[in-house]
Amino acid sequence: MDNPSLPKVIGAPQSVDIAITGRCNLGCKYCFYADEMVALRDLPTERWLAFFAELGGLAVQRVTLTGGEVFTRPDLFELIDGVIASRMRYGLLTNGTLVTEKVLA
């Protein structure tokens, strides 16, 4: 039976959306996000990989990587490998303009 005097323990979410960059290759006039992110720097790869390992340890099942534009990060595929190594599925939110034949290969 629940004890009302004890705080409730909240489990880890099944999925998380994470903005891994504020950079974008487009300059859409309606985008408020670029204005908010312009003064911030991206976290280094190692910090993201450690964070993904923590999420995996909490049994998070799915990560969606967003931005800005995720394909502006030169380490994107290393970050994806880190998500996979932490036993999570992933998705990408992208404007698609930087997806080339080389990226697809």
Predicted confidence at residue 95, as pLDDT, reads 94
Cβ atoms of 70 and 93 closer than 8 Å: yes
Question: Distance between CA atoms of 54 and 60, rounded to whole angstroms?
Answer: 9
Q: Which neighbouring-strand residues pair with 96?
A: none
Question: Distance between CA atoms of 35 and 33, rounded to whole angstroms?
Answer: 5
Per-residue pLDDT of 60-104, as tens digits, reads: 999 999 988 999 999 999 999 999 999 999 999 999 999 999 988
Q: Which neighbouring-strand residues pair with 90?
A: 63
Per-residue pLDDT of 9-45, as tens digits, reads: 678 889 999 999 988 888 888 887 767 777 778 999 9
Tokens of 94: 């992208």
What is residue 71's three-state secondary structure? helix
